[in-house]
Structure 1
Amino acid sequence: MGRRGAPVQQPGGLLFAATVLHDLGTGTLAKGQARFEVEGADLAADLLRRHHVPETDVDRVWEAIALHASTGIAERRGLLSYLTHEGVGTDFGRNADVVAPHAQRIHAAYPRPAMVRSLVDAIVERAAHSETAAPRYSIGGELLRERRADGITGLELAAATSPWGE
């Protein structure tokens, strides 16, 4: 992002930003004070602002990231939110047929060792920090409850049948 906001303003730039930055809320910069999706959206927005991305674009990326795990909502909040949600779903094997012809090349270039377990671990770790990070029926809240109750989550169990595996 050398020039003032140039890359994000290119075709696909907002989608690139939203999909690449969508899980910042699972990283160590997230404090676990709010849902991981919201903390990630806040971190991404801060990064985009530091690179002089126009506020309207920052807001659109924030919304796409905040809603990326919100089935039934993301699809109704515009193309960017829809595509971000669908891209994340594809990473978990939903609509895998869309990328199946390229899957081998993609996974060779971008291996995903224990992707689901690693992601669930990070979400659960952040969710355990506070009740506001794990409200009932949120992804973080439900993964935390499942992990505490059963030692494993439904998402981790489903990974075994994903076309991409764990």
Structure 2
Amino acid sequence: MRLFAATAVAVFCFAGFCQAAEGRKPQIEFQEETYVLAFSQANQFEALNEYVPENETIDEWSSLIAIRTYSGRKDYRELAGRLVQALKQKNPQARAAVLMSPDGKRTKVDFVTWDTAAEITEFNIFIYQLSADGQGVLVQQYAERAYGKEEGLELLRELKDRRPKLLAEIADFAFPAIRKN
């Protein structure tokens, strides 16, 4: 059920990183919670790593941290725009905020969307920018998901107060480097 997170991949296809012990999955820490690498894929053009809380699965998670790279692309603003277009096609009632960083080097998109049939509500923050070497686009994502109608409404109520802090924390978060293995 990588429902909404997969949408972004299909369209364009706080703390630091912790190296896992031998035989364990790579881990990162965010908001005093440990996330483990739950999904990873890569080819010569793009790579994707998705981390979920350590006792959750990629099919059913409450929060997700993802890193994507698109080699050979430099159009990060266009990719951010395509995400918003895909969101509007999937859920015309969803609203998205698109913000450019003061230095113009990053585009942030945040939105809430839902699937009433599956009773899933999801909040997402995506940050688009050039990769460190300038030879590709780096996309960083944080998402929260609620399952069930009442749980979704509760997520929306909580976001009213939590959203500004989450946006700031994600903007300052040291996302791990993409793993291509």
More helix by share: 1
Confirm or deny a common fold (TM above 0.5): no
More strand by share: 2
> TM-score by structure 1 length?
0.26
